[in-house]
Structure 1
Amino acid sequence: MLLAVSAAASHPLLLAGGRGGGAARPHPRTHAAKLEASNGRHLRSSLSTLSCACSPSPPSGDRGTGSARNLFDELSVLSPAIPWEVDDIWRIYAGYFFILHIPLSFGGLEVVAKVLQRSSLDSMTTVISTVILQLAELTLTLALLQYTAMPGHAIQPFYSGKVFTERSWVKETLLGFAVLMALVSTTSIVVDKLVGFEDAYDPILKEILSESPASVFLCFFLYCVIAPLSEETIYRGFLLTALSSSMKWRDAVLISSLAFTAAHLSCKSSIQLFVVGCITGLAYCRTGTLAASFTIHSLYNAVVLCMALVS
């Protein structure tokens, strides 16, 4: 119920004192002013009471909808406190994307081939170089996030709070992974029905997995540890957290998932990547720890690698 509260202003009463030993009698004009002020206070008090009694209450249906909306909004446990200025979020992300991600993830292997003076890289050299490039990208990303943080704010305790939490996250992680696999399987079947079957596995990846046990181990280490750690750090730990500090968390999940999908530059896997971004973002918002989103991301990549290995 909306309450209309009115507060009457207090003014000092000026009394004109009479001469002699008798009690002071108010001047006629002063007495009239007192009566008018008193009547005004009574009138405003009556109007306030009437307003309180007559203010419309929201219908029960609206109250129920509002409670459901509040419950949905409270599903996120993320804190709005972030070490970066809200106005700098997209400038920071653009710096990461164009200065670090594109050159290292999509142009790094070409630089390695030129440095080694080779026209092409063999499977083992490719996976080792990719591991080094991904570690370099993660290290430089953390340096960029620290450099762009507000003065006096360190990102090390910020990310420590996003990893170590007292809240249980195992149940939400298992549920999120199960939902993710169901959604990815469904979307894959739908896409195959609409556009026809197409091998979704990268031939270079399949070649690496069939090279040797060492290349298989490095490939799993790359896609199940380094890549999820790097991507969860930037897309959930930074972008989603920063966006949710100035907008509703579900909008932040959608926007960060779109950015996560676009960063892979893969139209063929865009639907699956968007689903991965949404599920990991939801798990992160629900648990408040990157351990949940990292585990889901890592398990998903492991399943994809296993399917590519046996295909």
Structure 2
Amino acid sequence: MVATMITCLAQSYLFASPKTLAKQSRAILLNRPNPLLLRFPKNNTRLKSQTPVPRRRLLPLCFFNAGKDSNSDFQEREENESEWPILKKWEIPWEWQTVSLTSLACGLSFVLTGLVETAALPILGIKIQELSLDEKAEILLVDQSITTIVTLGVLFSIANTFQPFPEDLYRYDLKEPFNLQKGWLLWAVIGLIGAVIAIALTGTVMSFFRGEDPQRETDALVQLLPLIGSSSISTACLVGITGVLAPVLEETVFRGFFMTSLTKWVPTPVAAIISAAVFALAHLTPGEFPQLFVLGTALGLSYAQTRNLLTPITIHAFWNSGVILLLTFLQLQGYDIKELLQAT
């Protein structure tokens, strides 16, 4: 082995051209430490005047893995900056098992809270039949408050085990409400206008394809009709339920948790559509499914644009409270709001 290497080196020198040998010899001599310079570093001016020894430079080495990571990070950052906000995904720290179990836990907490409250009323000596309309409205407000606290408590207690969260997850930010790109109030107005137009068009299209209007005796809004316009206390309680508590609960669960979790596996617009379908089904009103689906889609897309839960909460709040206040106004003007609801 050693003999072979020596032979190869000898052949390379024997068959090399004189110019090549001269260059190689000069490079070796220049890179070699000079014993005279080491011995007489200060007084040897003759040697200093010679051509200075070139400094050795480290050649730029490119390690494949390191270069790939830095380039991928740069490209990902560049793509995120150029990508539309409505197309970006959330960085979700949990897997599908957590999504399924948390959704089940939120649904069970919602149902069980209502059952416990219903069972507790007779124990507390409260008879619903004997209550006035204002007292019924107050009971509903307390019921919705407890349900909201319990359900959100279950949701956040599970999610907090994955702390720290990304900065755009469960974000309620009052800053910059009119920012052109992420202003929560500006895009709430845009989303609300878009939802009203889309729902009106959906209702018009549906009217051409359905025959007899479905009965809506079991709809939640129809069940609230006796309280609408009965007094200022009842109206305030209904606005608090439908315009504050319900939007905070539903948007945090359906958009803040469920929709953002889906973006881990599907594009954000698809996640908005899926969450809108689940949102509409959860209301258990088949006759209103198309309108609720359109509203849920507008809520999801507006949330994706701003990454701020205040945007869909504001849209939801204005929608619900606007319906209550409009029906209250019509009730006070003498209209039969039950007939109007059945017709629309």
Specify if TM > 0.5: yes
Tell me the CA shift for residue 189 of structure 1: 3.3
Tell me the CA shift for residue 111 of structure 1: 2.8
Secondary structure of the residue aligned to 1:265 is coil
Tell me the CA shift for residue 271 of structure 1: 1.4
1:130 to 140, 146, 154: 140
1:143 equivalent in alignment to 2:153: yes
Q: State whether residues 145 and 155 of structure 1, in contact with CA within 8 Å, keep that contact through their aligned partners in structure 2.
A: no
Q: Give the % identical residues.
A: 21
Which has the larger displacement, 225-234 or 265-274? 265-274
2:191 to 176, 181, 188: 176
Which has the larger displacement, 271-280 or 117-126? 117-126
Relative to structure 1, is the Cα distance of residues 134 and 82 closer, same or farther in structure 2, using a 3 angstrom cutoff?
A: farther
2:211 to 192, 195, 213: 195
Alignment of 1:142-161 (within 5 A): 142-149=152-159, 151=161, 153=163, 161=171
Give the whole-Å Cα distance in 1 for the aligned partners of 2:183 and 2:145.
29
2:260 to 226, 241, 248: 241
Give the whole-Å Cα distance in 1 for the aligned partners of 2:162 and 2:246.
30
Corresponding residue of 1:50 = none
Q: State whether residues 84 and 150 of structure 1, in contact with CA within 8 Å, keep that contact through their aligned partners in structure 2.
A: no
Relative to structure 1, is the Cα distance of residues 208 and 171 closer, same or farther in structure 2, using a 3 angstrom cutoff?
A: same
Q: Which ranges of structure 2 fall in alignment gaps of 5 or more residues?
A: 13-79, 177-181, 331-336, 338-344
2:105 to 81, 95, 98: 95
Q: Deviations over 1:129-175 (max 9, x none)?
A: 22222222222223222332364516797666343455323332222
Q: TM-score, normalised by structure 1?
A: 0.69
Tell me the CA shift for residue 195 of structure 1: 3.0
1:176 counterpart letter in structure 2? G
Corresponding residue of 1:209 = 228
Corresponding residue of 1:17 = 6
Report the aligned-residue RMSD.
3.3
Secondary structure of the residue aligned to 1:82 is coil
Greater Rg over alpha carbons, structure: 2
Tell me the CA shift for residue 242 of structure 1: 1.2
Tell me the CA shift for residue 233 of structure 1: 0.8
Q: Deviations over 1:176-230 (max 9, x none)?
A: 1111111222223343442345686734312111321111111111111111011
1:250 equivalent in alignment to 2:269: yes
Give the whole-Å Cα distance in 2 for the aligned partners of 1:185 and 1:291.
24
Q: State whether residues 92 and 260 of structure 2, in contact with CA within 8 Å, keep that contact through their aligned partners in structure 1.
A: yes
Give the whole-Å Cα distance in 2 for the aligned partners of 1:160 and 1:96.
16
Relative to structure 1, is the Cα distance of residues 204 and 80 closer, same or farther in structure 2, using a 3 angstrom cutoff?
A: closer
Give the whole-Å Cα distance in 2 for the aligned partners of 1:94 and 1:72.
37
1:91 counterpart letter in structure 2? L
2:119 counterpart letter in structure 1? V
Q: State whether residues 104 and 134 of structure 1, in contact with CA within 8 Å, keep that contact through their aligned partners in structure 2.
A: no
Q: State whether residues 257 and 278 of structure 1, in contact with CA within 8 Å, keep that contact through their aligned partners in structure 2.
A: yes
Secondary structure of the residue aligned to 1:129 is helix
Give the whole-Å Cα distance in 2 for the aligned partners of 1:276 and 1:108.
31
Q: State whether residues 284 and 293 of structure 1, in contact with CA within 8 Å, keep that contact through their aligned partners in structure 2.
A: yes
Relative to structure 1, is the Cα distance of residues 119 and 291 closer, same or farther in structure 2, using a 3 angstrom cutoff?
A: closer
Tell me the CA shift for residue 86 of structure 1: 3.9
Give the whole-Å Cα distance in 2 for the aligned partners of 1:189 and 1:72.
38
